Structure 1
Amino acid sequence: MRSTRIRSVFLDFFTARGHRPVPSGSLVSPDPELLLTNAGMNQFKPYYLAHLTPDFRRATTLQKCVRTGDLDNVGRTARHVTFFEMLGNFSFGDYFKEETTAWAWELVTEGFGLPRDRLWVTVYEDDDETERLWRRIGVPGDRIQRLGAADNYWSMGMAGPCGPSSEIHYDRGPAYGPDGGPATGGDRYLELWNLVFMQDVRDEDFRIVGELPARSIDTGLGVDRLAMVLQNVPDVFHTDLLLPVLETVRELAGGGDETALKIVADHARTAAFLIADGVLPSGDGRGYVLRRLLRRAIRHARLLGAGDAVLPALTGAVVDLHGTTWPELETARPLIEKVVTTEEEGFARTLRQGTRILDTAIRERRLSPKVAFDLHDTYGFPFDLTVDAARAAGLTVDEDAFAALLEERRRRSRSGRTEPGRERRAETGTTAFVGYDATRAGARLRAILRDGAEVPAAAEGDEIEVLLDRSPFYAEAGGQVGDRGVIHTASGAVLTVTDTRPGHVHVVRVETGEVVPGEEAEAVVDAQRRAAVARSHTATHVLHAMLRRALGPHASQRGSLVDAGRLRFDFAHFEPLPPERLREVEALVNEHLLADPEIRVWHADRARAEAAGAMALFGETYGERVRIVDIGDFSRELCGGTHVGHGSQAGPVHLLGESSIGSGVRRIEALTGADALRHQDHERALLTELADLLRVRPDEAPQRLRQRLAELAEARRVLEAQRREQLTAEAVRLAGHAKRVGTGWLVVQRVSGVGADELRPLAAEVRRRRGDVVVLGAEVGGRALMVATVSPDLGAPARTVLTTAAAAIGGGAGGKGTVANAGGQRTRHLDEALRLAAASARDLLG
């Protein structure tokens, strides 16, 4: 049974039993605490926890999943892969154990035709009910085994829903290991289908803290594993899901180690699916997962003897194989090819340099954690590749020691960035922010800090930090800069707020009066600056939406700076944006702002916001209750920043340019509002001035300038040709002054009218025409310069000719081989230096 049929049999079976077919979720997990989707239930987590109520109580899916926890086993066992398809059926407070076990047994024995005497089941160690159900169905008692929580109690690996499980295993026969059932471990008994009885809730410490609002079902059947059984092949790599890719690797490498071939095939498949879902290689997060897989694939391909650029062919084979079932692969084919090509070219340089160092360390048997850390930190050489290479050479690397070095580096990078007043804020509580609806508010001074330490008072001229009980000042967060303004105290003191830092630390300068804690005050934000910042923030959201529209969903935010009148936006992309594409994005942004979309702000729990399509931004952390900003119907993001009320208030936006700030991350800088207009006025004034200089209208200036530049280039070409003729004539003249010395010819001359960069080629041309030793000297720009060139037949470096002469003009001789030069400030001694050089040349010529 081919994989296409496996999928349809499963989905049709459960659709006929009232389950709604739900499309696969993205590999980019909707849960911000989970990097990548690792199970079919991920997209349904809010339903299990009753954060959302679905309009259906039964579902069935074919879900894309990625797991890298068993990376070292990939290619070494029959069943381990990093990407896999999981078929599942789900109940949200509807049916429970009885229906689940009965349907599972019916489907595997009748739908897929697996022989009953080859099937085993496991249940959780104290789950009497499930064992009774299996016996009632007809599973013999001697093929039911009870296992502990490590095998038969399922959770997401994090806080959330969980519960005991029961698994269906297939006995592959004695050729794959000893008898004894799944409890024996090994490859003989292959787990096919995991039936999870969702009933409990775990906290962050993995303690069961209660029951779910309703008992539910989550099951997962691996398509790869079932295909391995139904297609009667030794491992998942020989199923129709991976074999064509494996054969492509084998062809590119010309054969080789079977484990390495399987690793490359697996990682290429996973990479193609990740990129198609918008993941790009980077140095952290899910981007690092992708980069790590790509680099492992590249390294193993090189070890197999494959040439350069293997990944485009391999990921292309993945798209060819799976593009019909997963059309997003076909849509993303150009993107996948560009990303893997760029990554492979970049890693080839890292690989060459790192491999040389690694091979030396292995050969000398000194592969210490420090060497591994330096390879990782300085050269970007992945640690897991170091471990792989060490294992192949019979060595080990102390992974704990490596982790300690890595943590020490992170600790040093974090040092010095402690927020001022953190300890004091912990004691006094947080500041209530009231600035969304107002730019001024009454407040009380809770504490005064200097260098993070509390002080009893501050006087005129002091620069301090102030904590308030409530504040209209926006504290720097989410890329948006902190507000500025002024604080007036009841005693008459005036404090200028120069910044508002995370944690609502107001950085102030006391302009007049004295300040003490406990005073009442009025806090007033610089409203004009706040409005300019709000324009930039709204423009940033629109820019994000338009970049994703123009480039693809992978172009997601990787960082930002939102300031008054300007913004900086970092986004995931793999190549530079040409000027015409940048202008296209700018036009899209201004077009959508000019349409004046309404800016709507609303609040919801995080699960409901994500279900509504709100984007959670890279690197940001969110609580359970979130703030969502909608701009028209094209942008919906979780955001705590300030915005304008309507899109037209944010424009215009002018994109200044874009650049690279790291592998796979680009940066756009832009101006907004009045700053954009001022910049455009400045550019218009420059164009007008240029047109006046060229004596044309502004719209004719570019063409006229191109014409003038072409004329200038032609004139320069003619002048350079004339100059070459002049220097050739001068070389002929100088060669005519050659004197016979011994068996060779010597030319020593002072020249004039030549530039510093012309002296050396002139000497070479003279020696080419006549001369075994040529020494030329000239006074250029107030310095004495000398060049010497000698015939290679003399067997002596040219520098020996100038050593004594260079001292005469106050310098030293430099150069290697047949050409040397010297320079100094003593121009009046140039003739003497030439005489000394002539004497040295005569000695050289004998």
Structure 2
Amino acid sequence: MGEAYPDLVKQQDFVRTVVAREEERFRATLKSGTALLDTELDRLGPGATIGGSVAFLLHDTHGFPLELTREIALERGHDVDEDGFASEMAEQRRRAKDARKGGGGESVEVFAAVSAEHGPTHFLGDDSYAIDANVLAVTDDSIVLDHTPFYAESGGQVGDTGVITSPTGRARIVETVYGAPGVVRHRFEVLEGDIEVGQTVTAVIDGERRDAIKRNHTATHLLHWALRETLGDHVKQQGSLVGPDRLRFDFSHYEALSDDEIVAIEDLVAGDILANSPARHYETTKDKAEEIGAIAFFGDKYGDVVKVLEAGPHSTELCGGTHVKALGDIGPVKIISEASIGSNIRRIEAVSGMGPLERLREDERRIKAAADAMGVATDELVDAVERRVAEVKDLRTRIRDLERQAAAGRSGELAEQAVDGIVIARVDGLDRDGVRDLAVAVRDRAGIKAVVLGTAPEGGGVTIVAAVAADSGLNASELIADAAKKVKGGGGKSADLAVAGGKDPEALDEALDLVRAAVRS
């Protein structure tokens, strides 16, 4: 197989890593899906059918295959409503189809007619900010020109905004998209008057916004190169969004980036920007682009003639967006977030230009506010916080010691309430740890077989604790199983010391009564 696919041999360690992580993810999926299915099967009566909506939830949210749901259900004596599942799947496909449609029917016909008569709208390029153009069509919310300085949203880059002015009116362009293949649709809000078909208009884009987008878009290409340089050639673009305030880049990778990797990526990008190499943006044939090793971006479609961006000495990619002329125009680039968005797909967000400086100033304001709150200078803040954390930790230890002493004293009072060696009581005013310590203290007193304590802390929720003596013959988790369900909770699987949580404080007394009834029966 290595002879036919030599890349498999080169990348065998990477392939092993990805396969191993996929196995881990599937095991996690299996665990979460099985837990949900077990809960549903426990709720259903013998022989009942699992609803199609439940099977769909397992499939859609947890990635649980229908075949696996069916197999587990059959083992437990249940059927699955597969018709209901199919109906849910069909509804999901319908919603997705509706979401893709967009736009009104009449507008689509107008744009199609413009395309048939005039062909595609001519975009004048990166450096075109204001031009005169002729109006070819006007709908309720859109204008079509014969040529335009407005870049239409595509390739992950958002469209331009600006103003179009005619002899009889002005319109603010709030979005630029394609109304039909090649036909640029300028969506507008009326500022004054009307704009009519056949008029010559002045079209002016928001130049500051365009420049910010250009910086972020060229920075996206540099980040793509730096990611591949740092993480490996397996990194491929999986999507992007380039706006004026930030950029977003999705890429294939199997684990979270470390802090050191993020720093390395930022340093590579900064090095090219500081060198201020030119960014060349030009048209060539697709064959020539492939010959020079230009990388295609995810989701873009290319004809025989393509646009290539050479962003400095390292990044060469196909791209029809707008870009800076020199890398120094980008300014600093800072990665502000990194996260998983799917199996083996990561997402970074970054800012460029004034963005990093604005974030630095905001961080400085927050640090100054924190230092003021601590009563120290900013350069003393870390030491002050470490001292305060140590103080709080020490105080918590002292409080826990006092609570244990109090529990030991209170345990005698509760032990006196024992009936046949079993104590069941409500003890408000304690947190989860406090009620657990008290239960253990009561259990450890002479003559006590078991103790069940419940509390409803001021912060909300319910805690029920069961502690049983080793020679009691009782099971702590079984003692509070029904009580936990009563307070809309669960947990507590240990046989000698079980702690369960719940959501319904109002039901705590009834839950404890269930325990009393159970031990008497």
TM range (shorter): 0.7 to 0.9
Does 1:496 pair with 2:172?
yes
Task: Look up the match of 1:442.
Answer: 132
Task: Look up the match of 2:189.
Answer: 509
Check whether the contact 1:535–1:565 (CA below 8 A) recurs between aligned residues: no
The separation in 1 between residues aligned to 2:66 and 2:426, in whole angstroms, is: 62
Does 1:552 pair with 2:238?
no
The separation in 2 between residues aligned to 1:776 and 1:635, in whole angstroms, is: 66
Q: 1:627 corresponds to which letter in structure 2?
A: K
Deviations 1:180-204 (A, max 9, x none): xxxxxxxxxxxxxxxxxxxxxxxxx
Give the superposed CA RMSD: 4.6
What secondary structure sits across from 1:709 in the alignment?
helix
The separation in 1 between residues aligned to 2:224 and 2:102, in whole angstroms, is: 29
Q: 1:689 corresponds to which letter in structure 2?
A: A
Of 463, 469, 473, which residue of structure 1 is paired with 2:146? Answer: 469
Of 294, 297, 301, which residue of structure 2 is paired with 1:621? Answer: 301
Matches within 5 A, 1:368-407: none
Check whether the contact 2:455–2:464 (CA below 8 A) recurs between aligned residues: no
The separation in 2 between residues aligned to 1:815 and 1:608, in whole angstroms, is: 65
What is the deviation of 1:586? 1.2
Check whether the contact 1:746–1:841 (CA below 8 A) recurs between aligned residues: no
What is the deviation of 1:794? 8.2
Check whether the contact 1:539–1:651 (CA below 8 A) recurs between aligned residues: no
Task: Look up the match of 1:485.
Answer: 162
Matches within 5 A, 1:716-731: 716-731=396-411
Check whether the contact 2:462–2:487 (CA below 8 A) recurs between aligned residues: no
Task: Look up the match of 2:16.
Answer: 337
Check whether the contact 1:790–1:798 (CA below 8 A) recurs between aligned residues: no
What secondary structure sits across from 1:668 in the alignment?
strand
The separation in 1 between residues aligned to 2:336 and 2:435, in whole angstroms, is: 44
The separation in 1 between residues aligned to 2:243 and 2:438, in whole angstroms, is: 57
Does 1:632 pair with 2:312?
yes
Query: What TM-score, normalized to structure 1?
Result: 0.48
What is the deviation of 1:340? 2.6
Does 1:577 pair with 2:257?
yes
Does 1:588 pair with 2:268?
yes
What is the deviation of 1:765? 3.7
What secondary structure sits across from 1:467 in the alignment?
strand
**Does the C-alpha gap of structure 1 residues 767 and 648 become closer, same or farther in structure 2, counting only changes over 3 Å?**
same
Q: 1:494 corresponds to which letter in structure 2?
A: R
Of 390, 394, 414, which residue of structure 1 is paired with 2:97? Answer: 414
What secondary structure sits across from 1:339 in the alignment?
helix
What is the deviation of 1:620? 1.5
Matches within 5 A, 1:735-746: 735=415, 737-738=416-417, 744-745=420-421
**Does the C-alpha gap of structure 1 residues 573 and 677 become closer, same or farther in structure 2, counting only changes over 3 Å?**
same
Check whether the contact 2:407–2:437 (CA below 8 A) recurs between aligned residues: no
Q: Which runs of 5+ in 1 are unaligned?
A: 1-82, 87-269, 277-318, 320-328, 358-371, 386-402, 451-463, 804-811
What is the deviation of 1:842? 9.8
Task: Look up the match of 2:220.
Answer: 540
**Does the C-alpha gap of structure 1 residues 749 and 425 become closer, same or farther in structure 2, counting only changes over 3 Å?**
closer
Deviations 1:605-658 (A, max 9, x none): 100111011111122110110011111211111111111111111111111021
The separation in 1 between residues aligned to 2:288 and 2:214, in whole angstroms, is: 26
What secondary structure sits across from 1:509 in the alignment?
strand
What secondary structure sits across from 1:714 in the alignment?
helix
The separation in 2 between residues aligned to 1:783 and 1:621, in whole angstroms, is: 55
Task: Look up the match of 2:83.
Answer: none
The separation in 2 between residues aligned to 1:424 and 1:789, in whole angstroms, is: 73
Check whether the contact 2:172–2:188 (CA below 8 A) recurs between aligned residues: yes
The separation in 2 between residues aligned to 1:638 and 1:800, in whole angstroms, is: 62
Deviations 1:127-152 (A, max 9, x none): xxxxxxxxxxxxxxxxxxxxxxxxxx
**Percent of counterpart pairs with the same letter?**
37
Deviations 1:317-344 (A, max 9, x none): xx5xxxxxxxxx2xx4543332232123
**Does the C-alpha gap of structure 1 residues 692 and 522 become closer, same or farther in structure 2, counting only changes over 3 Å?**
same
The separation in 2 between residues aligned to 1:345 and 1:779, in whole angstroms, is: 38
Task: Look up the match of 1:567.
Answer: 247
The separation in 2 between residues aligned to 1:406 and 1:784, in whole angstroms, is: 37
Does 1:346 pair with 2:22?
no
What secondary structure sits across from 2:101 in the alignment?
coil
Q: Which has the higher contact order (CA 8 A, sep 6+)?
A: 2
The separation in 1 between residues aligned to 2:234 and 2:227, in whole angstroms, is: 9
Matches within 5 A, 1:825-836: none
Task: Look up the match of 2:110.
Answer: 424
Query: What TM-score, normalized to structure 2?
Result: 0.74
**Does the C-alpha gap of structure 1 residues 749 and 472 become closer, same or farther in structure 2, counting only changes over 3 Å?**
closer
**Does the C-alpha gap of structure 1 residues 424 and 785 become closer, same or farther in structure 2, counting only changes over 3 Å?**
closer
Deviations 1:521-554 (A, max 9, x none): 1111001111111111111111111111111122
The separation in 1 between residues aligned to 2:397 and 2:250, in whole angstroms, is: 43
Deviations 1:430-471 (A, max 9, x none): 211124331111122222234xxxxxxxxxxxxx12222211
The separation in 2 between residues aligned to 1:745 and 1:354, in whole angstroms, is: 41
What is the deviation of 1:347? 3.7
What is the deviation of 1:591? 1.9
The separation in 2 between residues aligned to 1:673 and 1:688, in whole angstroms, is: 24
Q: 1:428 corresponds to which letter in structure 2?
A: V
Of 322, 332, 353, which residue of structure 2 is paired with 1:652? Answer: 332
Task: Look up the match of 1:322.
Answer: none
**Does the C-alpha gap of structure 1 residues 722 and 665 become closer, same or farther in structure 2, counting only changes over 3 Å?**
same
What is the deviation of 1:664? 1.2
What secondary structure sits across from 1:502 in the alignment?
strand
The separation in 2 between residues aligned to 1:783 and 1:649, in whole angstroms, is: 54
What secondary structure sits across from 1:417 in the alignment?
helix
**Does the C-alpha gap of structure 1 residues 728 and 473 become closer, same or farther in structure 2, counting only changes over 3 Å?**
same
The separation in 2 between residues aligned to 1:541 and 1:759, in whole angstroms, is: 57
The separation in 2 between residues aligned to 1:650 and 1:524, in whole angstroms, is: 23
Task: Look up the match of 1:685.
Answer: 365
Task: Look up the match of 2:434.
Answer: 758
The separation in 2 between residues aligned to 1:498 and 1:639, in whole angstroms, is: 24
Check whether the contact 2:153–2:177 (CA below 8 A) recurs between aligned residues: yes
Q: How many residues align?
A: 462
Q: Which runs of 5+ in 2 are unaligned?
A: 38-54, 69-85, 493-497
Does 1:602 pair with 2:278?
no
Deviations 1:464-501 (A, max 9, x none): 1222221110000111110011111221x111111111
Q: 1:596 corresponds to which letter in structure 2?
A: N
Task: Look up the match of 2:346.
Answer: 666
Of 516, 522, 529, which residue of structure 1 is paired with 2:202? Answer: 522
The separation in 2 between residues aligned to 1:790 and 1:383, in whole angstroms, is: 41
What is the deviation of 1:839? 13
Q: 1:442 corresponds to which letter in structure 2?
A: D
Check whether the contact 2:432–2:463 (CA below 8 A) recurs between aligned residues: no
Deviations 1:87-137 (A, max 9, x none): xxxxxxxxxxxxxxxxxxxxxxxxxxxxxxxxxxxxxxxxxxxxxxxxxxx
